Structure 1
Amino acid sequence: MPRPLRIAIGGIHIESSTFSPHVSTADDFEVTRGDALLARYDWLSPARPWAVDVEWIPLVHARALPGGAVDPATYEAWAGEIVEKLAAAGPLDGMLLDFHGAMSVVGRDDAEGDLVTAIRSAIGPEPFISTAMDLHGNVSPVLFDACDLLTCYRTAPHVDVWETRERAARNLVEALRRQRRPHKALVHVPILLPGEMTSTREEPARGLYARIPEIEARAGIVDAAIWIGFAWADQPRCQGAVVVTGTDAAATTDAARELGDHFWAARDEFAFVAPTGSMDECLDTALAAVADPARRPFFISDSGDNPGAGGADDVTFALDRMLARPEIRDGSRRAVFASLVDPQAVAQIADQPIGSPVRVTVGGRIDSRAPGPLPLEGTLEAVADDPDGGRCVSVRVGGCSVFVTSRRMQYRLLSSYERLGVTVDAVDLVVVKIGYLEPELFDAAGDWLLALTPGGVDQDLARLPYRNVVRPMFPLDRDFTADLAVVTG
């Protein structure tokens, strides 16, 4: 009987905008180790048939809401812990590297490349490494060279996160049992697009990702993956990528070339997943539309400061424009603004009785772009503890409930609104710091628009000061021929 395989699990999972002034520190992360880390993966208990006779070695896993670049000391502490535990683990057959793929660390251009290089230095060249990544991650040459198997999500919004992690683990175990290192092929595609133009709910991304099952079913193919890349980091590695792994070198190379060609050919078809406009244009449309009950609640995405992509979560631009509307100020229209992070403001008012008049300045403490910190004068209508946002308050200003949180969070779940006393189907308008609507909001919306607001994850990429991305790059550049060379390994 063969000995059990020994496979380590760990990673650092965050998406980081280098255009955001926010700096991600250890306080932003949820960290798991030991049995708690293994408990994240349901294929371990009860074990799937493919996972029998595998000893899983937990290292450390740190995960955070997208934010700004990670503080170097924070990154180095966890990278060091991963390396130390690998060195102490004894002989390993492989490692499952569970990370996002778009982490930035202050002073580094390829954080995941640095991390996998450190891992290789600890385990040596023989163990296999398999990665489970977000499709908004990046595949640098260093990452590709160091890993044996790479896969990523196939849906956006991401509803296949745990399926992807299990696929990465299963592919790793099966490759180790074959005792043969997979063939792999990479095609970089010089496209840089926001996720809100590449949702798999819509074409062309839907059709592009629909090609994967057919390719994966071909003889000699193990996995096919397409990375959209991460648009809000100014680094040479940021661009689209295709990686195919397989047991047949020619089939693997041909499939990578085919997917890369299809990705590039579709470049002019990508469009925003909802109608767009300036914040004022979106408000004009929404406030007219809500006269029709079928279009309520009307959602507007404050997309430039979306914390789910790395925005600071405290730009006050959208709220300022919202409160300038007479029908919201006088209560003729019921609205919600979700949200601003400002622990100082929360601490200032949260202990007052519900119904108290309050005056507080909110936002603009991290990302101070105009109009900066915003004075609010209203009524304290709710206080709640949220598992994501910490202590949160709702301040009623005219007809608008303004949510303020102690920690950065994205109001993507209806339960988070309900904690502050809001049922979204009872309001006219919800302005939320988000990009494409996550599933619960999408289902709840009578209608919605994507506002092209300013912030660290501005959807209008031409407004961002790129200096380090490889040029030419679509859509920053348009009149060029792409070099879709296949790199094999």
Structure 2
Amino acid sequence: MSFDGKRLRIAILGIYHESNTFINKPTTLDDFQNSHWLKGDAIAREYRHAFHEIGGMLEVLEENTITAVPVMYAEATPGGTVSAGTYETLLEEMMRGLDAVLPIDGCLVVPHGAGVSEKHPDMDGHWLTLLRQRLGPDMPIIGTLDPHANVSPAMTAATNALIAYSTNPHIDQRETGKKAATLMVETLKGNIRPVQQLVQTPVAISIEQQFTAAEPCKGLYDQAREAAGQPGVLSISILLGFPYADVPEMGSAFIVVTDNKPQLCDRIGMELKDRLIDRRADFVAVKHDIATLLPKMQEWAKPVLLLDMGDNVGGGSPGNSAFLLAAAEAYKMSGCFICIYDPASVAEALKHQPGETFSLSPGNAEGGYMQGETAFTIPVRLLMEADGKFSEDSPRHGGQVNFDMGKIAIVQTGGGNVIMLTSLRVPPFSLRQLTAFGIHPQQFNAVVAKGVNAPIAAYGPVCPTIVQVNTPGVTQADMTRFTYRHRRQPLFPFEQDIK
């Protein structure tokens, strides 16, 4: 595709982070370097065939003979607020890389939508605004969002269109990237003129109710899909929101994109908002704690997937809680598997040979939730040690291909439970995290995954029973137990009387 015989050039760039402001430890450059910080052609090599939005963007641009110009993509595992220095470095690198490839004809952006930095609580709104200022008012800027975004007016004001994934677990990321790139192509052809409207709501959807394939979310998504069939509608996005960020944007919202029909944007957005407000009580679930659930384990089809909501790595938690492991040992439950991020325990395990027995205190590492509790120390036997790299080639939450847990150690307790100890924090988005090391869920009575909905895409097909456990931690399910200083008011479920 070209104008005046010149092949069009579209930049691709993004800073992507889901920031939990209730975690004291900041996210640093090391966290991005240990995850995915890619520049130039390395971005295309990593994502061209991946189930990731960048892969979808590349596919559409190549089909339309448009030159894709990958600039920089930096992503870190969800964690604490991004440190000021880290964000400044990432922003400087991205803008320097952009300047080096100018001129361009459009820009595809890949923010998360729930990024928070120390100096810029609306991190995504900040860098998107700077990008708009750099590229000017006429340059089309179109991108994708994670539905856990807390979207600000600055994000939508700086872009022509933003489209969120429509599934949770997120298994449609590549398709969403294709939609964004298709909008870019049609905009450049002059076939459409996208305008978008952000409709924020006075509702924050509880994290355990954000599974899009079941009610109450399913009905909301069905209404959005029906509305999207109207003439002139280009996309409708449901932003479920991320409750673990104390920012004014926290809460659920909608983005409606039309072909130059702003009044249609407003009408559809308000209809969806009214539905969410009317049915807000459905979006708060009954929560079940450890003591309530574990005695029922014998009744359920095995293996049981126990979702450790309070230590949800995909929501920023450290991934080192041992509450469920301690409970399993106390209940004398055998045949449980759990993965715990604990570099100190890995280092201790690596001092031993497979088959040797020694004592460990998993979950008592720095930042662990067991701190302040009675020390949890158990005898374990080393089964194996390994380099914790693995890859995923199926559509899974997050769309990533390559993962690195650092050095790992797999041990078995005297009670017959198996622990995978990792040196780097990796969310449980891929079954390959187990099977690549000879571990199969069918071997166990229960598998603990430190997440809420995201692990279901990987573990659901092999776990006939799925149970969300209301565990303690910085991602505990009940958002009303956190102290917010910056959220908007009124906001359900904090306040009941909303309009």
Residue pairs, 1:51-450, within 5 angstroms? 51-178=63-190, 181-247=193-259, 248-272=261-285, 276-286=287-297, 288-289=298-299, 295-325=301-331, 327-328=332-333, 333-337=334-338, 339-364=339-364, 365-368=366-369, 369-371=371-373, 374-387=376-389, 388-397=404-413, 398-436=415-453, 437-450=455-468
Describe the shift of the 1:228–1:372 C-alpha distance in structure 2 as closer, same or farther (beyond 3 A).
farther
* CA positional deviation for 1:349: 1.5
Describe the shift of the 1:372–1:237 C-alpha distance in structure 2 as closer, same or farther (beyond 3 A).
farther
| TM superposition score normalised by structure 2 | 0.88
* CA positional deviation for 1:276: 3.9
Unpaired stretches in structure 1, ≥5 consecutive residues? 482-489
Secondary structure of the corresponding residue to residue 95 of structure 1: strand
Distance in 2 (alpha carbons) for counterparts of 1:220 and 1:46: 26
**Are the equivalent residues in 2 in contact too, given 1:83–1:118 (CA < 8 A)?**
no
Unpaired stretches in structure 2, ≥5 consecutive residues? 50-54, 390-403
**Are the equivalent residues in 2 in contact too, given 1:382–1:420 (CA < 8 A)?**
no
Q: Return 359-368 or 346-355, whichever deviates more.
A: 359-368
Distance in 2 (alpha carbons) for counterparts of 1:258 and 1:89: 42
Aligned twin of 1:13: 16
Q: Deviations over 1:392-446 (max 9, x none)?
A: 1122112111221111122343332234443211211222212124223112113
Amino acid at match of 1:227: L
Amino acid at match of 1:106: E
Matched residue pairs, number?
468
Distance in 2 (alpha carbons) for counterparts of 1:60 and 1:93: 17
Distance in 2 (alpha carbons) for counterparts of 1:402 and 1:281: 23
* CA positional deviation for 1:47: 5.2
Percent of aligned pairs with the same amino acid: 29
**Are the equivalent residues in 2 in contact too, given 1:320–1:371 (CA < 8 A)?**
no
Amino acid at match of 1:192: A
* CA positional deviation for 1:464: 1.1
Describe the shift of the 1:266–1:105 C-alpha distance in structure 2 as closer, same or farther (beyond 3 A).
same
Match for residue 41 of structure 2 among 35, 48, 61: 35
Secondary structure of the corresponding residue to residue 314 of structure 1: coil
Distance in 1 (alpha carbons) for counterparts of 2:154 and 2:30: 29
Residue pairs, 1:471-486, within 5 angstroms? 471-481=489-499
**Are the equivalent residues in 2 in contact too, given 1:94–1:128 (CA < 8 A)?**
yes
Amino acid at match of 1:304: G
Describe the shift of the 1:301–1:345 C-alpha distance in structure 2 as closer, same or farther (beyond 3 A).
same
Secondary structure of the corresponding residue to residue 96 of structure 1: strand
Q: Return 379-388 or 418-427, whichever deviates more.
A: 418-427
| TM superposition score normalised by structure 1 | 0.90
* CA positional deviation for 1:296: 0.8
**Are the equivalent residues in 1 in contact too, given 2:205–2:284 (CA < 8 A)?**
no
Amino acid at match of 1:399: G
**Are the equivalent residues in 2 in contact too, given 1:345–1:360 (CA < 8 A)?**
yes
Amino acid at match of 2:294: L
- Tell me whether 1:24 sits opposite 2:27 in the alignment: yes
**Are the equivalent residues in 2 in contact too, given 1:276–1:282 (CA < 8 A)?**
no
Distance in 1 (alpha carbons) for counterparts of 2:471 and 2:121: 27
Aligned twin of 1:487: none
